[in-house]
Structure 1
Amino acid sequence: MKKKILIRIGSLRHGGAEKVLVTFLKNLPEDKYEIDLLLNLYSGKYLSELPDFVHVFYLNKGEMITTNRLQDLPQKAFRVVYQKILKTFPKLLYQFILKGKKYDIEFAAIHGMRDEILNSPLKKSKKIIWIHNDLKKTEFHTYTDAEIRKFFGFDKILVISEKIQQDFEQLAINEKEKEKIVRIYNPLDTEEILRKAGVREGKAEMRSLKPVQKKLPEFISVGTIFPQKGFDRLLRVHKRLLEEGFPHKISILGDGYDFENIKKLSEELGVTETATFFGFTDNPYPKIKKADFFILTSRYEGFPTVLFEAMTLQKNIISTDVSGVREMLADGKLGLIVENSEEGIYEGMKIALQQPHSFVQYEEALKNYLMPFNLGNSVNSLIQIIDDL
């Protein structure tokens, strides 16, 4: 008999947690489970990638409203009130939206769904949560130890980095609670990354993607555009280096509620000729492959998925010292780790521009590096956790 699983997430926008979830679902055996996916908002670039055997339910439909324009306020207010009612009275949600269905497992795919799953009227279901962020350093809400303790109400707590695992283990009060914590690397498809970048498409394609002689060194950064990712820091450092006589250009791939603010900042800094915004793309890998340096400027992370993608493409990497990075970059053997500050980003980019030969050590190390983030292993580990509950 198939296990019935409910998975909850806000939407399927272009974020790391959303991509990881869809990759996981795409690689599940379709005849093994009966899966319902409940979205707060039926929206996002990854909707089209969901496998057919996943049944989708939603509370609201349409694009995310990120502005406070007068004409958008009624719909925005309705969404907030509607979701608040269903969160406060979860029996209504399970009766009318989910049609009274019973589940064996309820799965919060992001930490923000903690209370929704813990307050489920299905008291006998096993409950899993997937922690993708360092909860002690988040943008809108920093979790206290007491709040993090609430996550121990789950039967399994999936964490994606050593740092997050340590934070939770320090708050566990006994071995039984420690056993709830499972570190599991994000399931990402390296073959798909290489294929989309052109590396798996034959010699002609590979020739077209070889670095060509460029007038300016290029730094590329990829991610959802909001303050966590530090694109504002990248632009200010870019401006400073240009003023100091280090010609280069930067490319930013991604979209998000802060997109217009970041574009406006580039105008204010006068760097629109050398800073390019590409918006969201389904396939960023050819652009990543062609750039000279991949740079991560985040203020905080959990386990930055995009860094793994850059490693798969064997890029010269500069990254701020956020959660997961030392683990991924083998404590600095596979890329340059800089202080998590604007000054740290400046020093890292300056080294890249003044001493590009110093990155040869990272190139050689990545060539011989066996990735621990294996898609099959991660999916099988998740399946084992579900089956054992």
Structure 2
Amino acid sequence: MIKNIAILVHGLWSGGAERIAGLLSKELAKTYNVYLFLVNTDHIVYDYDGTLVNVAANHDYENNITMCKRKYHIDCAISFLEDMNYKNIRTKRTEKVIISERCVQLTETYWYMWSRFLRKGYYHYADAIVACAEGVKFDVMRSSHQIPEYAVKTIYNFIDKEGIVLKSQENLPKEAQDFLGGNPFFLNVGRLNPQKNQRRLILQFAHFHAANPHVKLLILGDKDSEIDLMSHIEKLGLEDFIKILPFTKNPFAYMARAKALVLSSRYEGLPNVLLEAMTLGCPIIATDCLSGPRELLMDECNYEKKLDKLEICKRGILVCNEETEDEGISWYMAKAMEMICLSETMTENFRQNSLKYMEEYTNQRILQQWIEVINEEVKGEVISTRTAEEQKLQSAKHIVIYGAGKVGREVFRQLSSRHTISCFAVSERKDEDEICLGIPIREIAALQYLPADTVVVIGVGKKYLYEVLDKLWECGFEQIVMPYL
């Protein structure tokens, strides 16, 4: 019987995943003993319930997490985001391990190599994977054939509907009121970065604005790329019609008054901002990105399909997520803005359908789904990740250590007492007969071992990890292990 639950997340000061972790702790603390394993316990912004545990001492996170799991007799450990998911899996002993995936995996992201490695090499060790949207589940399943479908559950995010409605009744700040001057406006809320793709929104709004000069655009976000976006706005001559304001804890007052919320993202997980807008009956225009908008606006979870124009849905308008929209070759987002302005009947339908959807969207239902996953019986043998990796090494025909430097030699010293190491592997070697610690050094591209018979142990630091992973996959090696140093 599960009594003690650990929630692993970097902190509780910013980010959607961190906020959901805090809300989950509050709900679970009503039934279980909850411990929040955090890297940063000094700066707390989000509400939570349970005992805070700092696992950052000496930056030895894995060892600290292992000791804390023992100290607090953890029966179930739930983690959020890739790095903590990895540490949760690596420290797995006999407790149930649940990892939460919050976003899709795209090649353009910095974390792509790491995310791909985790999904291929480690996620199948988790007892359950909770995806925040059907699109994220689809992405997880297609990225690793080792993950059984029964292990991946979709659970949407908690939403504070009462708080959203209450805050929406507050007045807009004077700066926003002065800018708007009583004119109608479209709204965008999110970090100012390439993922959220406000450049596309600004270009599309410029096209729309030429025929609708009385309508304005407000963007609420942090300042990561504000200078670039302001330059873009100035080049289009729209300084008087587009304004970027700092992110606020109360975007709801804006949502309640906007013509529509416009989400221009290239990719997502489950955008909380859409659920928040729907709570207030705010019409939505969103790119048909992976993942989230499609299933929220049209109850459609077939992500094999790809929209190439726009589609009027139950709760808003989906527009294609194409580069032609970025380059001003197509104007479907601009057309959607015009449709919102022209048809009160359509926007009223969006409002009513969204409000009806959110009436049935309850935190109690979401909590029950989490409890079902927590209490679900684990299928198969309960085994620690370290034991599973030892078994993988024991059954391998060949064990290769990638890297012959300081890290690689330390890996060799740890493994050579239990396993026979075939060779070190490197990208390039200095001479034909190069030897390290009594075994040969080979170029990875020239290895004669079959990938199916070979386990490669990483013997380089994190600085070179992504480059090494890319090289190994290029050469067909999929059985990759990170050492326990």
Shared fold (TM-score greater than 0.5)? yes
Secondary structure of the residue aligned to 2:39 is strand
Q: List alignment gaps of at least 5 residues for structure 2.
A: 171-179, 301-312, 326-330, 378-485
CA distance in 2, matches of 1:197, 1:215: 17
CA distance in 1, matches of 2:288, 2:317: 10
The answer to whether 1:163 aligns with 2:163 is no
1:91-147 CA distances to partner (integer Å, 9 max, x unpaired)? Answer: 25655x889655322222123423222222x52222111111112466323368665
Secondary structure of the residue aligned to 2:265 is coil
CA distance in 2, matches of 1:289, 1:255: 21
1:328-379 CA distances to partner (integer Å, 9 max, x unpaired)? Answer: 1125211111111434323322333455554333234335445453211111
CA distance in 2, matches of 1:288, 1:227: 23
Deviates more, 1:122-131 or 1:364-373: 364-373
Q: What TM-score results when the alignment is normalised by the length of structure 2?
A: 0.63
Query: For residue 373 of structure 2, what is the amino acid of its counterpart?
Result: I
Identify the residue that residue 77 of structure 2 maps to in structure 1.
Answer: 106
Whichever of the two has the greater Rg, that structure is 2
**RMSD, aligned CA:** 3.3
Deviates more, 1:148-157 or 1:353-362: 353-362
Instruction: Pick one of 339, 346, 352 that aligns with 2:334.
Output: 346
8 Å contact from structure 2 (residues 55, 65) kept in 1: no
The answer to whether 1:320 aligns with 2:292 is no
Classify 1:142/1:287 alpha carbon distance in 2 versus 1 (closer, same or farther; 3 Å): same
Deviates more, 1:325-334 or 1:296-305: 325-334
Identify the residue that residue 165 of structure 2 maps to in structure 1.
Answer: 194
CA distance in 2, matches of 1:171, 1:319: 25
Larger RCO: Structure 1 or Structure 2 (Cα < 8 Å, ≥ 6 residues apart)?
Answer: 1
Instruction: Pick one of 194, 212, 220 that aligns with 1:253.
Output: 220
CA apart distance, 1:307 = 0.3
CA apart distance, 1:326 = 1.6
Identify the residue that residue 461 of structure 2 maps to in structure 1.
Answer: none
8 Å contact from structure 2 (residues 187, 219) kept in 1: yes
Q: Counterparts of 1:205-220 in structure 2 under 5 Å?
A: 216-220=183-187
Query: For residue 366 of structure 1, what is the amino acid of its counterpart?
Result: S
Instruction: Pick one of 346, 358, 362 that aligns with 2:350.
Output: 362
Classify 1:30/1:248 alpha carbon distance in 2 versus 1 (closer, same or farther; 3 Å): same
CA distance in 2, matches of 1:386, 1:98: 16
Secondary structure of the residue aligned to 1:294 is strand
CA distance in 2, matches of 1:248, 1:156: 47
The answer to whether 1:294 aligns with 2:282 is no
The answer to whether 1:278 aligns with 2:245 is yes
Instruction: Pick one of 153, 174, 181 that aligns with 2:125.
Output: 153
CA apart distance, 1:256 = 5.2
Classify 1:268/1:98 alpha carbon distance in 2 versus 1 (closer, same or farther; 3 Å): farther
Identify the residue that residue 420 of structure 2 maps to in structure 1.
Answer: none
Q: List alignment gaps of at least 5 residues for structure 1.
A: 61-81, 200-212
Deviates more, 1:127-136 or 1:242-251: 242-251
Identify the residue that residue 17 of structure 1 maps to in structure 2.
Answer: 17
Q: Counterparts of 1:1-389 in structure 2 under 5 Å?
A: 3-30=3-30, 32-39=32-39, 42-43=42-43, 47-57=44-54, 59=56, 83=59, 86=60, 90-91=62-63, 94=66, 102-120=73-91, 122-136=92-106, 139-142=109-112, 147-149=118-120, 150-170=122-142, 173=145, 177-198=148-169, 216-244=183-211, 246-255=213-222, 257-322=224-289, 323-330=291-298, 331=300, 332-341=313-322, 342=325, 343-355=331-343, 357-369=345-357, 371-388=359-376
CA distance in 2, matches of 1:92, 1:54: 16
1:182-211 CA distances to partner (integer Å, 9 max, x unpaired)? Answer: 111112122222222239xxxxxxxxxxxx
CA distance in 2, matches of 1:154, 1:187: 23
Classify 1:34/1:364 alpha carbon distance in 2 versus 1 (closer, same or farther; 3 Å): closer
Classify 1:216/1:59 alpha carbon distance in 2 versus 1 (closer, same or farther; 3 Å): same
CA distance in 2, matches of 1:173, 1:372: 34
Deviates more, 1:363-372 or 1:4-13: 363-372
CA distance in 1, matches of 2:76, 2:332: 44
Classify 1:226/1:40 alpha carbon distance in 2 versus 1 (closer, same or farther; 3 Å): farther
8 Å contact from structure 2 (residues 286, 319) kept in 1: yes
Q: How many residues align?
A: 346
CA distance in 1, matches of 2:236, 2:10: 35
